[in-house]
Amino acid sequence: MVGLLTAAVVSGSDALRLRGAGIADPVAGENADANIQQLANSIFSDYVFAFEITSVLLVVAVVGTVLLARRRTGKGMA
């Protein structure tokens, strides 16, 4: 596993050095947004469907946990 991780780190660094050199810095443009604004644009436009799906996932997780961990007391409760 250590060998695999070392190979992954070395290959990832090489790939970044080869490919990342030619890409311009997005902050350097004239109408460049700040980091948080770029992130908000990305999440709420490109990934808005995934964002909605995560809300459904959180609701399902909370409901399931309450059903699992609720103390079963009294009658009339499942």
Within 10 A of 14 (CB to CB), how many other CB atoms are there? 10
Cβ closest to other proteins, residue 19 vs residue 75: 19
> Does residue 52 bind other proteins (CB under 8 A)?
no
Ordered DSSP codes for 19-31: HTTSSPPGGGSTT
Q: How many CA atoms does the CB half-sphere of 30 hold within 13 Å?
A: 0
- Residues making contact with other proteins (CB under 8 A): 1-2, 5-6, 8-9, 12-13, 16, 19-20, 23-26, 35, 38-39, 41-43, 46-47, 50, 54, 57-58, 60-62, 64-66, 68-69
